[in-house]
Amino acid sequence: MQFSLVVGQDDIKHSLINSINLNNVSHCYVFEGPKDMGKLNLALIFAQSLFCRDFNGEPCESCNNCKKVNSLNHPDLHILDLVQKSIKREDVDELIENIYKKPYEGYRKVYIINNADLMTVQAANTFLKTLEEPPKDTVIILLTTNINLLLPTIVSRSQVIKFKKISIKEIKEFLIKNYKADEQKASVISNYSKGILNKAVNIINEKDDILNRREEIINIFNKIIKSDEEIIFSLESYFEEKKDNIDEMLEIFMLWIRDITFVRNNIQNLVINTDYMDLLNEHSKLFNKISGDGLINYLQGVSDNIKSNVNYKLIIDKMLLRIQEEFK
């Protein structure tokens, strides 16, 4: 594993490498960033670098320590990555008992706790006691999607590293270079990746079927604007079944309307759904407005109302009627 193979996060990589070179490694880190941002991967590279016997800005990959970390078989590397919905006190007790033991090899131990925000209050308080007097030979890396879900006292005793989203351009270039994707496919995927490289990789490897869901939702949109009011009631069961994914559906609706507006105003270079240009041209001719901002803002309001537990069926019916009206 190499820092140079990680796309983006240059500031973070530079900071971690410098901390090793300057012998200024913290006892505890918090890696914060959205799911699939690559936090665990970078934590493992950092751990490998800490164990490497010939570190020179990158792990050497040839020493025994590097080989053991690469196979996740290093006795001083401990990863707590539970499938269960919470990290209980007994899980932390077991970890702490191990922390105060001497390293098996070398002079350092590394503990990585994935989804650290899932610690129960009892587990978090128990863990906090360790941070108050951390062992000098131990580095702890906490991974979380939201730092606000951790105890403030844990955060205050840690070095916080915030992962940033990668630019669409970087992800697009990565997909073209490493997955031989054509420019259009790479562009569409990078735009739907939300700046998260692992999500883009999952999409191109078809482990994430967002593009299939997009096709289904665009087809639904097409039916809505080309049919009469009866279609609204026939779609009620569909939207009820998709209730848990309504935010994603609304987002795709908004992106589609955004693209329609750009096509209508001859700004095709800003279109995201470039693989649907024929349909976008067709819809742009049906759209009654120069700008889609009003409809997009309305759909954002729909999302907010659903979160506020407004009558779901009623608000969906009104939304579909509003979309229909804008294209009649």
Asked whether the beta carbons of 131 and 29 are under 8 A apart, the reply is no
φ, ψ of residue 167 to 5 degrees: the values are -65, 150
Pair of tokens at residue 5: 């193979």
φ, ψ of residue 142 to 5 degrees: the values are -100, 130
Positions in the chain short of pLDDT 50: none
Q: Is 328 exposed, middle or buried (0-12, 13-18, 19+ CB in 10 A)?
A: exposed
User: Residue 1 has what pLDDT?
Assistant: 78
**Residue-by-residue DSSP string for 7-31:** -S-HHHHHHHHHHHHTT---SEEEE
pTM of the model: 0.78
- As beta bridge partners, residue 79 has 112
C-alpha dihedral, 244 to 250 to 253 to 255, nearest 10° = -120
Alpha carbon distances (Å) from 229 to 224, 322, 324: 8, 11, 8
Alpha carbon distances (Å) from 115 to 82, 145, 278: 8, 7, 43
User: Residue 97 has what pLDDT?
Assistant: 85
For the four alpha carbons of 166, 8, 117 and 150, in that order, the dihedral sign comes to negative
Pairing of strands 159-162, 77-80: unpaired
Q: Is 228 exposed, middle or buried (0-12, 13-18, 19+ CB in 10 A)?
A: exposed
User: Residue 220 has what pLDDT?
Assistant: 94
Nearest CA among 89, 86, 95 for reference residue 28: 95
**Residue-by-residue DSSP string for 206-246:** TSS-HHHHHHHHHHHHHHHHHS-THHHHHTHHHHHHTGGGH
User: Residue 35 has what pLDDT?
Assistant: 86
User: Residue 106 has what pLDDT?
Assistant: 76
In the three-class reduction of DSSP (H, G, I as helix; E, B as strand; rest coil), residue 110 is classed as strand
In the three-class reduction of DSSP (H, G, I as helix; E, B as strand; rest coil), residue 185 is classed as helix
Q: Is 205 exposed, middle or buried (0-12, 13-18, 19+ CB in 10 A)?
A: exposed
What percent helix, strand, coil does the chain show, rounded to 5? 60, 10, 30
Asked whether the beta carbons of 3 and 15 are under 8 A apart, the reply is no
309 — alpha (psi -120 to 50), left (phi > 0) or beta?
left
